[in-house]
Amino acid sequence: MRRAIFLDRDNTIIHNDGHLGDPDAVHLMDGVADALVRMREAGFDLIVVTNQSGVARGLFTEDDVKAVHRSIDDSIAQATGRDDIILGWYYSPWHPEAVIQAYKGDHPTRKPEPGMLTQAAEDHDIDLKSSWMVGDQERDVEAGMAAGCRSIRLANDKTGTRAELRCPTLTEATDHILMESTAQ
């Protein structure tokens, strides 16, 4: 079985101050490209798991979400010279208060539920117990924990978290994960 680092998308990999459905608005967070390369070189598969309720809210379409993901892949490839960084993209377009009825309701893939992580684990033969979830929201931590992963929350403040660790950036989270993985 393989080990993975599951990553939230918005404000973990890319800047996003709202609902991002425009691929031209993609901007990688500082240090992300280097952190992703270091994770891959350490033998981790990288899988993005992201709630995209903007679809349910009628702000953009699933095709827009996929276009944003292609733009992120392109930005990462341009920054790293590699096109093998992200193994998979998983997103949940559902929301309990959706305006588009087809996407209304609670869904097992919507974080904090672990559905995206468990589906990715099944699709890619991932050992969840030797994997990590990294994100900027408590729902990311909760999804990781529910799936059996270790979790890191990206936060600069003293916000309470159930995560194993709080780090200000993906770079620091990467440092911790790689230190832990070499110590085992």
Measured CA distances, 23 to 49, 118, 149 (Å): 17, 27, 30
Cis peptide bond prior to 112, omega within 30° of 0:
yes
pLDDT in tens, 80-101: 999 999 999 999 999 999 999 9
CB-based contacts of 153-159 (< 8 A; 24+ apart in sequence):
154/11, 154/12
Q: What was the pLDDT predicted at 184? A: 65
165 Rama class: left (phi>0) / alpha (psi -120 to 50) / beta? beta
Residue of 10, 45, 64, 136 marked active site? 10
Average pLDDT of the segment spanning 31-59: 98
pLDDT in tens, 111-168: 999 999 999 999 999 999 999 999 999 999 999 999 999 999 999 887 789 999 999 9
User: Cβ atoms within 10 A of the Cβ of 97, count?
Assistant: 9
Domain count of the fold of the chain: 1
Instruction: Record the pTM.
Output: 0.97
Cα 93 to Cα 81: distance, rounded to the nearest angstrom = 31
- Strand-pairing partners, residue 133, are 6, 151
Range of the domain at 154: 4-183
Give the orientation angle of helix 138-147 with respect to helix 115-124, to 10 degrees.
50
Residue of 8, 45, 64, 136 marked active site? 8
Task: Verify whether residue 10 is a known catalytic residue.
Answer: yes
Cα 78 to Cα 181: distance, rounded to the nearest angstrom = 28
CATH of the domain at 136: 3.40.50.1000
Burial of 8 (0-12, 13-18, 19+ CB in 10 A): buried
